[in-house]
Amino acid sequence: MNRWNYSLMMNHSTYCEIISLRFAIKLILLATVAMHTVSGIAQSGEASAERVNVVLLVADDLRADVMSVYGGPVATPNLEKLAARGCLFTRASCGYPICHVSRTEIVTGRSLVAEASSGKTIAFDPTWTTWPACMRQAGWHTVYSGKWHVQGTPNSRGYSATSALYSGGGSAGKPLSFPRTPTGLAVTGYTGWTFKGADDKPLLEHGIGLTPTTDAIITQGAVAAINHRSNRPLFLHVNFTAPHDPLFWPSGMENSYSAQSITLPENFRDSHPFDHGNIVGRDEIVVPAPRSRAAVQAERAIYYGLVANLDKQVGMILETIDRNGGQWLIIFTSDQGLSLGSHGLMGKQNQYEHTANPPLIIAGKGIPTNRRLNTNCALRDLYPTCCELAGVPIPHSVQGKSLQRLINGHASQVHPFVYGYFTDTQRMIRSEDGWKLIWYPKVARTQLFHTPSDPWELNDLSQDSAHVRRKQDLARALNTWLQLQGDSAPRLKL
């Protein structure tokens, strides 16, 4: 068998049919695990005992505050165990809250505010050394599993192999396997996406677009990559699709959360008070404003089910790691969070904490256990942090900062400020003590929040005379940083 393969039957087009087949699907998945082969992964040899294996797990649009590991309502026991084995960060920053830009920042270790302002796909500068390319050059076997959403191909970005690659294209004009969600919404995301085999040909038997089993397939690809390690250390990058829309109940977890039981957050609103820069974007019109509480509860119920299933998939990967033994560095995060009704928004294209502050857990070799760090960091810091923990030189193109000294208690701060940005419509700065200034250049508006005392960001202090000096200081720091980054958006007047 020359390609990664699963024997799932995914040619049904209604949600009712997948419910009736869910137990058969589970059995088929379990029966075919032993048959999996992975594109480019050696089938023999023992993993290196000298150098650490690295697993980077990235969710999609995952709010930290819905998970029990962060005090939320969805039980996430496997992530709680992972956090107990390492460090949980409460104040990470995603930079640019949209999938392909945030993921590009992760793999390049760079801020892309200047490159991303146009809203177009980010082209990779040939002088940038990507994270997987850096690890491959240092001797790691680099494998990619799951959603591919940056410019180019996995091989061109430094991955030696793929396992359960899920990417755009390959549907050959065939319709979506699931054109509508359980709540009746028309599917507008991931249209035409398919799994690809070793020969890059689509595996249409696994469905077109998102399905109730997409993340289970990605997990099996990741498990296969771990189980078939070569005599080189492994660098495995796993990108899940959950809980990104369209929202489908995971197979076997249908109606696991009741919409009526969902408590909406304090900052729920039926619409946003002004055009923040994406008011008519795809994410906002899937469930158009003004939104009823019932409509948002219905979407959140399935979202919670997806989060619970994501924790289950992470648990399967962690169990596989433990069975294999050796030294491991495990990083769990998300490209960004999501609004899902907070502040009158549904999407991720904003600078509020529910979106800009994704979850982050780092565990394994060189990481103290049971630590909670309430200090600024950014997702682009993960690349240099991994390099330092693995004993690999940090490339000159990397702008992020290693968190190793922070993790080990040798530093109390890495970033006095973190920054956020979206197209040319939003700019944000958040200080180490939790003051946040958001600037909307297109509508000439600002917001000022003190996040420690106002975690729901309901009390805008931007017009409060008691905070004029603070606002000016933050604006000056933001303008200085944007100037250094070569940003073309208008500066905030002091």
> What pTM, to 2 d.p., does this model score?
0.91
Q: Which amino acid is at 3?
A: R
Tell me if 248 is assigned to some domain: yes
Asked, for residue 2, whether it belongs to a domain, the answer is no
- My answer on whether 450 and 385 are in the same domain is no
Query: Quick check: is 116 in a domain?
Result: yes
Structure token pair of residue 460: 């805008």
In the block, tokens 């697993």 appear at 55
So what's the pLDDT on residue 120? Answer: 78
Q: What is the CATH number of the domain that holds 159?
A: 3.40.720.10
375 and 475 housed in the same domain: no
Considering the domain architecture, whether residues 105 and 230 belong to the same structural domain is answered as yes
Calculate mean pLDDT across residues 353-381.
Answer: 97
Residues 288 and 352 in one domain: yes
- Residue 288, burial from CB neighbour count under 10 angstroms (0-12, 13-18, 19+): exposed
Question: Is residue 493 very low, low, confident or very high in pLDDT (cuts 50, 70, 90)?
Answer: confident
Of the three residues 393, 418, 443, the one that is the final residue of a domain is: 418
User: 183 and 256, same structural domain?
Assistant: yes
Residues 58 and 194 in one domain: yes
User: Is the pLDDT reported for residue 40 higher than 50?
Assistant: no
pLDDT > 90 in the chain, percent? 85
Residue pLDDT, tens place only, 118-173? 777 889 999 999 999 999 999 999 999 999 999 999 999 999 999 999 999 999 99
Same domain, 447 and 481: yes
Query: Higher confidence at residue 72 or residue 1?
Result: 72
Which residue among 370, 402, 418 closes a domain? 418
pLDDT-based confidence at residue 37 (cuts at 50, 70, 90): very low
Buried b (16+ CB within 10 A) or exposed e, 338-368: bbbbbbbbbbbbbbbbbbbbbbbbbbbbbbe
d(CA 236, CA 38): 12
pLDDT per residue as tens digits for the range 401-426: 999 999 999 999 999 999 999 999 99
Is residue 354 very low, low, confident or very high in pLDDT (cuts 50, 70, 90)? very high
Q: C-alpha distances in angstroms, 3 versus 148, 227, 252, 437?
A: 18, 16, 28, 50
Please check whether residues 450 and 406 belong to one and the same domain.
no
**Do 371 and 456 belong together in one domain?**
no
Structural domain contains residue 99: yes
The overall average pLDDT reported for the chain is: 90
Both 326 and 409 in a single domain?
Answer: yes
Q: Enter the tokens of residue 333.
A: 């995060």
SS (H, E, C) the chain: CCCCCCCCCCCCCCHHHHHHHHHHHHHHHHHHHHHCCCECCCCCCCCCCCCCEEEEEEECCCCHHHEHHHCCCECCHHHHHHHHCEEEECCEECCCCCHHHHHHHHHHCCCCHHHHCCCCCCCCCCCCCCHHHHHHHCCCEEEEEEECCCCCCCHHHCCCEEEEEEECCCCCCCCCCCCECCCCCECCCCCCCEEECCCCCECHHHCCCCCCCHHHHHHHHHHHHHHCCCCCCEEEEEECCCCCCCCCCCCCCCCCCCHHHCCCCCCECCCCCCCCCCCCCHHHHCCCCCCCHHHHHHHHHHHHHHHHHHHHHHHHHHHHHHHHCCCEEEEEEECCCCCCCECCCCCCCCCCHHHHCCCEEEEECCCCCCEEECCCEEHHHHHHHHHHHHCCCCCCCCCCCCCHHHHCCCCCCCCCEEEEEECCCEEEEEECCCEEEEEECCCCEEEEEECCCCCCCCCCCCCCHHHHHHHHHHHHHHHHHHHHHCCCCCCCCC
Q: 143 lies in which domain range? A: 15-39+51-418
Q: Which of 378, 400, 418 is the last residue of a domain?
A: 418
For residue 45, is it within any domain?
no
Residue with tokens 């990507």: 130
Count of domains forming the chain: 2
Q: 27: pLDDT confidence band, cut at 50, 70 and 90? A: very low
pLDDT at 29 over 80: no
In whole angstroms, what is the distance from residue 299 CA to residue 66 CA? 13
156 and 282 part of one domain: yes
Please report the pLDDT score of residue 1 as a whole number: 33
**pLDDT confidence tier of residue 58, bands split at 50, 70 and 90:** very high
Q: Are residues 405 and 434 in the same domain?
A: no
In a domain, 127, yes or no: yes
CATH number for the domain that contains residue 474: 3.30.1120
Who wins on pLDDT, 456 or 173?
456
- Position 198 scores a pLDDT of 85
Does the pLDDT value for residue 19 go beyond 90? no
| pLDDT score for 490 | 87
Q: What is the pLDDT of residues 255-298, one digit of tens each?
A: 999 999 999 999 999 999 999 999 999 999 999 999 999 999 99
Question: How much is the pLDDT for 53?
Answer: 98
Is 57 inside a domain boundary? yes
Question: Is 492 contained in some domain?
Answer: no
